[in-house]
Chain A
């Protein structure tokens, strides 16, 4: 349970970081908080030749901080979970992230782990990727050539596979500030608090009375990537919250979620749990406080 040997560099500028990425290619891994990377190294799931510690770039506005501009909220890659948890701006304008962050591991890990790390690692059970997909956020990538913007719904390609190209790193994500009348709900089921969840749901919609519109529903743990449940979304669009509407959305999930069996839960169990959680999320969305 000790990490293999690797080299270590801490660039002081983006240019230096790109040099290192170019020189070491596939041998290099970026290190920010390291709260996922270090665990995978300890278990020897990967053996990089060099870790490039980008926390020396934390003073760069392009990679850090939480900012509101023109109806958008940008979250820098080097922002820690704890900073998101404590952010008034997130609590008011990207309420889904504020609800999701307490589910991430534990305080000692949230103090160090970063937003960008979670996005780039793209664990199918991670919280931020599914929030970014549900909220139709943009992921901003940076390389020597400049910045490139990819919708989160196209960024996650397959299990642990993203649209990141060699020489690129995640700079930040941009979310729409939550418009009036919209609500977000994030819920997950885990065996123990802070564990990777069995299933999680990120729900977002305009709620007028009990009428739902502009609905998004995305799931974690239900496939290789964050899963956007388009059929379930369509079943809810323009409908009033009612038992048969919820049932229709729940029924649609079987056709579009693709969880795999693991040690603890079968595919059927996971689908069942996804339906249960969907019911709870829709109730919370339309009847907050109930």
Chain B
């Protein structure tokens, strides 16, 4: 019944032309079709945040987005943001604060944290917690993650790239 659809999506700056089934989720397309396995498929119903990626500059859930919905749009993943150096200070802070253990949630955490740093550069600790509340971590207890984000927030505010 449902034939494949041709899509052209700009993934990390490169246009990918693929035929996909309408039911294919963005997260599965990125991981299985393109081999971009940074974002993870966790709960697959929008709760855990492990699949967080950017579509046209906004963070979204990769498991609640169909590939066909992103046709013609820009998709950016942790791979692209890592390569561009956009997250370098955040990644360093996560490392230094032990803000990860198994690392499953980390790509999603970094996407959400980077969004927070852009959207709410004056966030306090409570606001950081609230902004990051859509991303689950089962290892760290969150304290170290909030510490890391808070540190980068302060550093960026002073114009110092840690």
Q: Chain A residues in contact with chain B, CB under 8 A?
A: 1-8, 10, 31, 34-35, 38-39, 41-43, 49, 51, 53, 55, 82, 105-109, 111-112, 192-194
Contacts and interface: CB of A to CB of B under 8 A. Distances in A.
Contact of A34 (B43, B66, B131): B66
B45 A42 contact: yes
A5 B25 CA distance: 12
Interface residues of B, number: 33
30 contacts: A1-B43, A1-B45, A3-B23, A5-B2, A7-B22, A8-B22, A34-B64, A34-B66, A35-B64, A38-B25, A38-B46, A38-B66, A55-B69, A105-B134, A107-B112, A107-B119, A107-B131, A107-B134, A108-B59, A109-B46, A109-B60, A109-B61, A109-B64, A111-B59, A112-B58, A112-B60, A112-B65, A192-B133, A193-B130, A194-B133
B44 A2 contact: yes
A8 B2 contact: yes
Nearest to A33: B64
A111 B134 CA distance: 13
Nearest to A192: B133
Nearest to A7: B2
Per DSSP, chain B at the interface is mixed
A53 B22 CA distance: 11
Given A6-B2, A34-B64, A41-B23, 6 more contacts: A5-B2, A31-B66, A108-B49, A108-B60, A109-B46, A109-B64
